[in-house]
Chain A
Amino acid sequence: DIQMTQSPSVLSASVGDRVTLNCKASQNINKYLNWYQQNLGEAPKLLISNTNSLQTGIPSRFSGSGSGTDFTLTISSLQPEDFATYFCFQHDSWPGTFGSGTKLEIK
């Protein structure tokens, strides 16, 4: 199975900051990388699919980039509701595999 490595595991930031979360695949996954946001006790929410396709209703401050093995999720200006856990997921190879997550916490 393809291994997905996320970094950092914890990121401390302030409201208004620009932050970048990273996800690295153990082999080429083309563009087939999704990003999810998860708040405690809630269902994961798909933010971005296929590297950079913003889902309907997701604010434009979220963006994704990358290709091959290295991918990033950028939040341009953190809002209070953005403090959550984010994880990546590859669906290039069956079965899909997950990163271990980045917890975004308030500094």
Chain B
Amino acid sequence: EVQLVESGGGLVQPGRSLKLSCLASGFIFSNYGMNWIRQAPGKGLEWVASISSSSSYTYYADRVKGRFTISRDNAKNTLSLQMTSLRSEDTALYYCTRVHTLDYWGQGVMVTVSS
């Protein structure tokens, strides 16, 4: 059974950093591209970042480019999102998802940016 379990969320002040992780199981992690998707309270879903299976390709939404870094450790079946210079508008539930067709999702981890 495919499982994606996010962690690392919480309350952080504007301008600070936070790192999210996603532990994958139930499939060969190194074979799949992965993504972070987010949903702000009361808002729609937004694609944040993607990484190819071997980390050779990454993509970022314009709103996070230069502030967020997606990475992965295939030996540890872990996807990460390093978030810096956080803003109030980054407050959202962050989901780890598999492949560009988003066939599996984690339950999400909440990030709240507030002073």
A residues neighboring B (CB under 8 Å): 34, 36, 41-46, 49, 87, 89, 91, 94-101
Q: 7 tightest CB-CB pairs across the interface, nearest first?
A: A98-B45, A95-B47, A43-B105, A43-B107, A44-B105, A100-B44, A91-B101
Contact A34 B105 (CB under 8 A): no
B residues neighboring A (CB under 8 Å): 4, 44-47, 50, 59, 61, 95, 100-108
Q: Which residues of B contact A91 (CB under 8 A)?
A: 100-102
A42, B100: Cα distance in complex, Å: 20
A9, B106: Cα distance in complex, Å: 24
CB within 8 A of B61: which of A41, A43, A95, A99?
A: A95
Q: Which residues of B contact A96 (CB under 8 A)?
A: 47, 100-102
Contact A101 B44 (CB under 8 A): yes
